[in-house]
Amino acid sequence: MPKSIVSIAKGVDVEKMVHEVLAPFGGVKNIIKPKSTVVLKPNAGHDAPPESSVNTNPELVAAVIREVRRANPKEIILAEASAIGCDTMECFEVSGILKAAEDAGVDKVIDIKQDKDLIKMPIRDARSDISRMLLPRFLVEAEHIINMPIFKSHCSMVFTCALKNMKGVVQDKVHYQMHQTDLAAAMMDLWSIIRPDLQLADLIRPSEGFGPHATLPTDFGCLVAGRDPVAVDATVCRMVGLDVNRVAYFEPARERGIGVSDPDQIEIHGPSIEDVYKELWLPYLEGFDKYPEYTLDTEGACSSCLGLVQLTLEKLKSLDEYDKNSDVTILVGRKSGIPEGVEHDKLILHGDCLKKYRKHGVFVGGCPPAEPHPVWAIVDRKDYTEIGPGLRERMAVEGPLFEKHMHKLKQQRDKDRQN
């Protein structure tokens, strides 16, 4: 079986790097047919400025538009459906992506959330509870899609890159449904009906820390490209020191036949992984020994929920709520029973796999739950099952406190490493 080709480019000149990283695929003219429609799907999910590294680097978006133009396409479209609760056009604007794309000569910018021309796509052999998804017609009919994620640490998936970025092609209703079922399986179901031609991962300044919102950008200076999204994500993980066996979605991706993660099945072009290796601080898999004050049962939990619980405990610290709430017992993962004698308000049931016990404790719905809900469920001692009004306002108040806390953690971590 032929190996999946993954190409790495390292440098400071983004235009040159884009050109170099496409060379192993025969260059842009071999990837893009003349007179075709090309959709660029960056990560522009949040209204955060370019220096935050929350969204794809605008300079990269501009360089890709200029490179694609050399293949003489009919039309280049920039498209995104921002995160639930965010306004896509605002995200495009604040991220600097809109201006960069317009200056580079993009033909059209589409907010997928507002698109009315949708096609119902059946999912054959669905692994999640979703049997069909609505997708924009322009996307389904486009000859080419270029997936352009930025690498970030991510609470519900450990990290986000090529596989997860495609979640941003669905409207809020489907996005929401995906969070109500097995998210990793739903992501792979989505990949079974829409498949970009190329993944071009932005590791120019990826984000460490407790992403995806509280980011810590760090210089890395790389681009990674490949047709196989699983091989791209696995390679990126190896470049930053993340063990692919500890991330929940490589297995469902492999099972669904979306790509390969085994290094023996991947052919690297450009500098080797060792040449560009730089370990990033990705704290979601560090474990729970540092939270002895809390009673946690995480047996059987997926990495998505483990990361989220860790973020929750750190967020409680940042809000000065950690000590006040250490009387709770947090249950995560599938269980065949719950502890006896724990008061309703002191038992936190984290995630849909504990739904059947919801009358016995405070229930946080979702698979995994939405990022702020576990913190709020613990502080407010009430169920959180749906993304409701006021989410952004409350997150806006809590965000800066957490960012401050995260910087302190990073300083401490760097100090410990030096000693």
Neighbours of 22 (CB within 10 A): 24
CA distances from 236 to 60, 159, 302 (A): 17, 10, 21
Taking a C-beta distance cutoff of 8 angstroms, is the pair 202, 145 a contact?
A: no
Site for ligand SF4 contains 305 (CB under 6 A): yes
Sign, Cα dihedral of 158, 162, 165, 170? negative
Q: Binding segment for ligand SF4 among 29-37, 103-111, 351-359, 408-416 (CB under 6 A)?
A: 351-359
Site for ligand SF4 contains 368 (CB under 6 A): yes
Q: Binding segment for ligand SF4 among 128-136, 221-229, 235-243, 346-354 (CB under 6 A)?
A: 346-354
Residue nearest to ligand SF4 (CB): 351
* Nearest to ligand SF4 of 52, 312 (CB atom): 312
* Nearest to ligand SF4 of 188, 302 (CB atom): 302
Of 305, 187, 157, nearest to 253 by C-alpha is 187
**How far is residue 377's CA from residue 103's CA, in Å, rounded to a whole number?**
45
| Strand ranges for 30-177 from DSSP E | 37-42, 75-80, 108-111, 118-122, 132-136, 144-148, 150-154, 158-160
* Nearest to ligand SF4 of 189, 403 (CB atom): 189
Site for ligand SF4 contains 365 (CB under 6 A): no
Tokens of 11: 């440098």
Of 351, 361, 372, 374, the one binding ligand SF4 by CB under 6 A: 351
**Smallest distance from ligand SF4 to CB 366, Å:** 7
Site for ligand SF4 contains 58 (CB under 6 A): no
Of 263, 271, 333, 399, the one binding ligand SF4 by CB under 6 A: 333
* Residues of span 167-226 touching ligand SF4 by CB under 6 A: 182
* Nearest to ligand SF4 of 100, 332 (CB atom): 332
Q: Which DSSP string do the residues of 115-142 spell out, in sequence order?
A: ---EEEEE-TT-SSS--EEEEEHHHHH-
**How far is residue 281's CA from residue 401's CA, in Å, rounded to a whole number?**
20
**Smallest distance from ligand SF4 to CB 191, Å:** 18
Q: At what angle do helices 373-380 and 303-318 cross, to 10 degrees?
A: 50
**How far is residue 266's CA from residue 250's CA, in Å, rounded to a whole number?**
14
**How far is residue 360's CA from residue 363's CA, in Å, rounded to a whole number?**
9
* Residues of span 238-297 touching ligand SF4 by CB under 6 A: none
Site for ligand SF4 contains 352 (CB under 6 A): yes
Site for ligand SF4 contains 307 (CB under 6 A): no
Of 153, 235, 304, 312, the one binding ligand SF4 by CB under 6 A: 304
* Nearest to ligand SF4 of 336, 418 (CB atom): 336
Chain positions contacting ligand SF4, by CB under 6 A: 182, 301-302, 304-305, 332-333, 351-353, 367-368
